Amino acid sequence: MKKLYLLFFAISSFWACSSNSAPSNETENQMATASAIPEEASIVKVDDDIINDILQSIPSPLEISLLIKEVGSYYNKADLNDHNKVSSYSTNFDKALNLGIYGTDLGYSNIYNKNQDALNYLNSVQNLAEGLTIGQFFDYATLKSLAESADQNLDALLRTTTANFEKINYHLRQQKREHLSILLLTGGWVEALYLTTLVHQRTNNEVLREKIGEQKIVLDRILLVLEVYKTRNGFAELIADLKKLQAIYDQIEIETVYEEPTMVEKDGVLVVVDNTKSVVNITDRDIDTITSLTKSIRNKIIN
């Protein structure tokens, strides 16, 4: 991990600071109940901590971006959203979704050491952040300097950038604009899934195939939170599009295969390793449909 790619990690941290944690059944039940409350009442009555619990359980798009490169796929700039489109996003709804899109593209381009592309996406991210009046928490000059430093201090960079985006999240909550957080996350997730399906078409890679299937769980959680804000402008159509995708994912089975945990020594300490695995049962037809629907949803967001 290096250079501007690390900046994307900061955005990812804002989206999902605890990507390995899972929301409790109680939390998901509370969310499901809250989403059934009509009109604006749902926005008022849902506790922020419940929403954050769901958001923090959603993995960062960074995970998928890294995986794509690891399978040996080549970089194709045409796969990414055109950074010059940034000025066409005029509403807060579009700005937030495309801030997520560009955040994923920023990380993706830098993973491949495409520094000029990464700089262009960094500018787009800054532009949209300022448009959402959260630019004051995005210290562009400092982050750019830290990222391009020949002698990088990874821990310092991550601490600085993570702190900045924690401030953004806090600001959005204080301003009663929590709905922008889920839009940021949704845009980033859609772009990551879109890139994964494109690369899978080229490589027919089994690891990517399984990763596409695993997004069933992520999509369910995203929709839980989106439903809370369904009366806000733009949300209903986005939810409807994602539910079409969910209908395909509902046909996919994820089987949990239990294996006995083992004890291993790590740094002189015995730790328990969970060997339980998930097996994704997904057909070629499922993949093709997910690929087509994801492309359609993504095109609506960026155009």
Q: How many CB atoms lie within 10 A of CB 158?
A: 16
Judge if pTM exceeds 0.85: no
Helix (H) or strand (E) holding 278: strand 277-281
Residue 226 tokens read as: 């989106």
Q: Is 18 helix (H, G, I), strand (E, B) or coil?
A: coil
- Burial of residue 32 (number of CB atoms within 10 Å: 0-12, 13-18, 19+): exposed
Residue ranges of domains in the chain: 5-252+284-302
Query: How long, in residues, is the chain?
Result: 303
How would you classify residue 263: left for phi > 0, otherwise alpha for psi between -120 and 50, otherwise beta? beta
Bridging pattern class, strands 277-281 and 253-257: antiparallel
pLDDT tens for the chain, residues 1 to 303? 343 334 444 344 333 333 444 555 555 555 554 444 443 444 444 566 666 666 666 666 666 777 888 888 889 999 999 999 999 999 999 999 999 899 888 878 877 777 788 788 888 988 999 999 988 877 677 666 655 654 444 455 456 555 665 677 678 878 888 899 889 889 989 999 999 999 999 999 999 999 999 999 899 999 988 999 999 999 999 999 999 999 999 999 988 888 888 888 877 788 888 888 778 889 999 999 999 999 999 999 999
